Amino acid sequence: MKTIIVPVDFSHQSEYALKTAASLARKHKAEIIVLHMLELNYAMITSSEAYHPEQTVFLLKAAEKRLSEFLDQSYLKGIKITPVIKHYKVFSEVNDVAENHNADLIVMGSHGTDGLQEIFFGSNAEKVVRHSDIPVLVVKKDRPDFKIETFAFACDFREDCQEAFRKAKSFADKLGAEFRAVYINTPGDHFLSTSDINQQIADFLKGAKVGMEVDHYSDYSVERGVLNYSESIGADLIGIPTHGRKGISHFFMGSIGEDIANHSGIPVITFKI
């Protein structure tokens, strides 16, 4: 891991994300790109009836000063920090910045303690997740000494998740973390016998060209199964696949992915399919 992007809006959640990124950067000798996006829009900058140029310059200078003060933290000492300010909020630009800097990871803070609507539906982090080609790590708590030793990744082991699975495993390998993949078996229409699960996983791993053991865990719902499994193995991180702009993968459609992040005290990371 060489470069981490951290979008900030000067909130406490931004600082949680920055502390998490700093902990990872220090362990892996990575650079942090701190990105702040102003509330301006294109019309406000270009319209003759909107801000005068000197007002725009004033806002940019004020943002630069506030960002500089925000980054004056002891936990950032010794880490290479590059501040970047964009004129207005276009969340696809986060992905552009990531591409320009060949970034490996985006770290974002989540507002609130119980809402994937605060993460994936209508929030800033949701917009970043939908546009990002690289993993997005969402944190809800202050984690000044964040480390990833055990990484739980859950999916339905269907063909369209193979790319996300490979990305997640590669990410774990880069961090030197134990990668624990799991299939959650639930009662009802989605119930599979042990032999059916093993066959589905075997076909998936063959297609993904990955050799490893995969756990299966039974619970009353997928979300509870992911959380209970992750807690039972002492996971430091939970990974889920996403379809980017199409939203959370069909395995995590609707309330499933929502409940995983809503009720998880463990950070959640997304990998684009």
Work out the average pLDDT over 10-16.
90
Whole-angstrom Cα distance, residue 36 to residue 15?
A: 13
In a shared domain, residues 245 and 174: yes
Length of the chain: 273
Whole-number pLDDT of residue 60: 77
Contact 215, 181 (CB under 8 A): yes
Sheet of strand 31-40, all strands in order from the earlier edge strand to the far edge? 81-88, 31-40, 3-8, 105-109, 136-139, 268-272, 237-242, 150-154, 178-185, 215-218
Its domain, for residue 7, covers 3-139
CATH number of the domain enclosing 78: 3.40.50.620
Whole-angstrom Cα distance, residue 238 to residue 268?
A: 5
Would 102 be classed as within a structural domain?
Answer: yes
Whole-number pLDDT of residue 122: 42
Assess whether pLDDT exceeds 80 at residue 114: no
pTM: predicted TM-score of the whole model, two decimal places: 0.84
Secondary structure class of 96 (helix, strand, coil): helix
Q: Which residues contact 94 (CB under 8 A, 6 or more apart)?
A: 5, 7, 35, 106, 128, 131, 132
The pLDDT tens digits of the residues spanning 152-200 come to 999 999 998 999 999 999 999 989 999 999 999 999 877 899 999 999 9
User: Burial, 198: exposed, middle or buried (Cβ in 10 Å; 0-12, 13-18, 19+)?
Assistant: middle
In a shared domain, residues 155 and 134: no
* Three-state DSSP string of 162-202: HHHHHHHHHHHHHHCCEEEEEEEECCCCCCCCHHHHHHHHH
> What mean pLDDT is reported for the chain?
84
Low-confidence winner among 18-27, 50-59, 218-227, 259-268 (lowest mean pLDDT): 50-59
Q: How many independent structural domains does the chain possess?
A: 2
Whole-number pLDDT of residue 125: 67
Q: Who has greater pLDDT, 242 or 123? A: 242
In a shared domain, residues 228 and 130: no
Whole-number pLDDT of residue 40: 60
Would 144 be classed as within a structural domain?
Answer: no
Whole-angstrom Cα distance, residue 216 to residue 151?
A: 15
Assess whether pLDDT exceeds 70 at residue 2: yes
Secondary structure class of 38 (helix, strand, coil): strand
User: Burial, 170: exposed, middle or buried (Cβ in 10 Å; 0-12, 13-18, 19+)?
Assistant: middle
Of 91, 116, 139, the residue at which a domain comes to its end is: 139
Contact 272, 132 (CB under 8 A): yes
In a shared domain, residues 253 and 200: yes
Work out the average pLDDT over 73-77.
94
Whole-angstrom Cα distance, residue 81 to residue 71?
A: 9
In a shared domain, residues 128 and 205: no
In a shared domain, residues 107 and 178: no
